[in-house]
Amino acid sequence: MCLSLRHMERVSGLGVGPLAAGTVGLLILLKVIQRLRHKQSVQDKVVVITGASSGLGKECARVFHAAGARLILCGRDQKRLQEVVEELGNKNSVIQTYTPCTVTFDLSNTSVVSSAAEEILKCHGHVDVLINNAGISYRGNILDTHVSVQRDVMETNYFGPVALTQAILPSMVDRRTGHIVVISSVQGKISIPYRSAYSASKHATQAYFDCLRAEVERLGLQVSVISPGYIRTNLSINAVTGDGSKYGVMDKTTARGSDPVDVARAVLKAVCHKQKDVVLAGLLPTAAIYLRTLWPALYFRLMASRAIKEHRVKEE
């Protein structure tokens, strides 16, 4: 009897490893199948991109155009938008591509967003994907920053995208389909010193679009919040300072940031796979997000230390 029990234990023990491996393999296979089932193509889809004349917006235009989307490019400078259109027209593609439409308006002026949305909808009659990309950054000490600058950053980064989203949203609800994307930032999840206006606008953005996602899911709409770390664009050069003037400096962190092409491809992937919340950052920023939640006292201490170091550098 004892021998029989020992034999059964050996057999069952030998079977645990293969069984566990098989279970893990099956779960991975099911996840892959699920992703493939939910994957959607942007071929022939109407995709609106704000801030499309430069930086990440321009790279998104290239990536989505190559994927066969019908683009509507938005920005403040019609000439630069037209240059993007001409550049895309010169590219060869193995799939059907389309000449983009352009709509020129200033997203920070929310009074014109409603009429701009009407013009956008006239292009193809509807919008399948809205990518809220346009934004402005900020560098400055809170003590030296006028409230008007805080408000201006919020107008561009928060109220502008909200106004455009709410202007386009009813048409998506009527069709029971649509995908809204917003380019937020890691700084929409954690705050770092001397970025108050920017971080505040991105925190507000994260909260609004999280609420929107929950409210429109029952209507068949998708919402994706993309939170990159530093991207190698002119965002820091074009940033505003406490008095509203241009910062005009390429930060070292920005210069060493992610290639905007890689971020644009990640945005396309988020749309195709209907990803809800995507963080595109290295190990340290990602760890900081968890640290802020799990050990806030340590996070606050680290940020205070960083503020002291940056203040010393500026004084020198």
9 or 139, higher pLDDT:
139
In a domain, 6, yes or no: no
In a domain, 22, yes or no: no
In a domain, 107, yes or no: yes
The pLDDT score that the predictor gives to residue 38 is 54
Q: Are 52 and 76 in contact (CB under 8 A)?
A: no
In a domain, 2, yes or no: no
Count the domains in the chain. Answer: 2
CATH of residue 150's domain is: 3.40.50.720
- pLDDT category, 314, cuts 50, 70, 90? confident
In a domain, 27, yes or no: no
Indicate if the pLDDT at residue 15 is higher than 90: no
The pLDDT score that the predictor gives to residue 8 is 46
Residues 241 and 110 in one domain: yes
252 vs 256: CA distance, rounded Å: 6
- pLDDT category, 39, cuts 50, 70, 90? confident
* pTM (global) more than 0.85: yes
Least confident residue range of 34-43, 138-147, 272-281: 34-43
Indicate if the pLDDT at residue 207 is higher than 70: yes
Domain span including residue 164: 40-281
Residues 139 and 238 in one domain: yes
Residues 240-248: what's their mean pLDDT? 94
In a domain, 20, yes or no: no
Q: Which residue, chain included where needed, has tokens 């606008």? A: 201
Which string of b and e fits 52-77 if b means at least 16 CB within 10 Å?
bbbbbbbbbbbbbbbbbbbbbbbbbe
Residues 28-55: what's their mean pLDDT? 78
Residues 51-74: what's their mean pLDDT? 97
In a domain, 238, yes or no: yes
Question: No. of H helices and E strands in the chain?
Answer: 11, 7
Q: If you ran DSSP here, which 8-state letter would residue 307 be given?
A: H
Kindly report, residue by residue over 90-136, the tens digit of the pLDDT.
Answer: 877 788 999 999 999 999 999 999 999 999 999 999 999 999 999 99
The pLDDT score that the predictor gives to residue 11 is 44
Least confident residue range of 23-27, 34-38, 186-190: 34-38
313: CB partners within 8 A, 6+ apart: none
Tell me the catalytic residues: 198
Residues 290 and 276 in one domain: no
Indicate if the pLDDT at residue 49 is higher than 60: yes
The pLDDT score that the predictor gives to residue 27 is 62
Mean pLDDT rounded to a whole number for the chain:
90
The pLDDT score that the predictor gives to residue 92 is 76
